[in-house]
Amino acid sequence: MHSKPPRPGRQRSGRRPPAGGTVGLVPDRPYTLLSCAVSVDGYLDDASTDRLILSGPEDLDEVDALRAAADAILVGAGTIRADNPRLLVRDPARVAAREAAGRPPHPLRVTLTATGDLDPAARFLSGPGTPLVYCPSAAAAAARKNVKDQAAVIDAGAELSLAAVLRDLHSERAVATVLIEGGSRILREALTAGLADELRLAIAPFFVGDRAAPRFALPARYPYTPASPMTLTSLRQVGTVAVHSYRLG
């Protein structure tokens, strides 16, 4: 990969799970937690132009705590275009705690784009720190034109894959923990390729029922089958949603 920003000065030798559990050996990539909220029928959003609110303030606060514990937050470019997230820690006390521990105030923001199609006004680009934009070689010029000096564009070579991005974050950026917040294709790739260690799934108490809306768990061959299921580690009511936490692998 090319166009590397300088590596952070503080190196981390261990893995620190955002959810606070125990961490096993994770070779060649960061410890990775997936977090998403869905409707009862498995939709990440509806098909309207407005963002569908799936969870309440209590759940959002827990996700903010996960962000504060992570070294990096990763989403697909489609999520940036659809939701325009900032991907910052919201709670000032958590920001202060990160700084007191010698860490940046916010996690590193990361996205993957196959085309380089990013809005220069996206909030992902305007927050503090320099976000990373990974793209295939064919899209690197378009990405650099769009983001200008607001992000570091990383040429991932001929093929862009989440596995390669995670390896690069681990080996070249000293990232030990990653929180992936979607969208649907990134979540599918993480799950089908065995690239995640935990899944936090918040389920809202309503249906979407729109075939045109984006779904969680797009059709694919998943390694978690009846013969080899995920391990449910907790099930809690958090505000209006039911939060399922699974250990993967």
Confidence tier at 109 by pLDDT (50, 70, 90): very high
Confidence tier at 15 by pLDDT (50, 70, 90): very low
**Other Cβ atoms within 10 Å of 218 Cβ, number:** 14
**Other Cβ atoms within 10 Å of 134 Cβ, number:** 27
Q: Which two tokens stand for residue 134?
A: 């990974």
Stated as kind and residue range, the H or E segment containing 38 is: strand 31-38
Per-position DSSP letters for 180-217, written without gaps between them = E---HHHHHHHHHTT--SEEEEEE-SS----TTS-BSS
The residue-averaged pLDDT of 21-40 equals 79
The pLDDT of residue 26 is 57
Which CA distances in Å does 162 have to 27, 45, 99, 165, 220? 15, 22, 29, 5, 16
Under a CB-based contact definition with an 8 Å cutoff, are residues 117 and 144 in contact?
A: no
The residue-averaged pLDDT of 159-185 equals 96
Confidence tier at 182 by pLDDT (50, 70, 90): confident
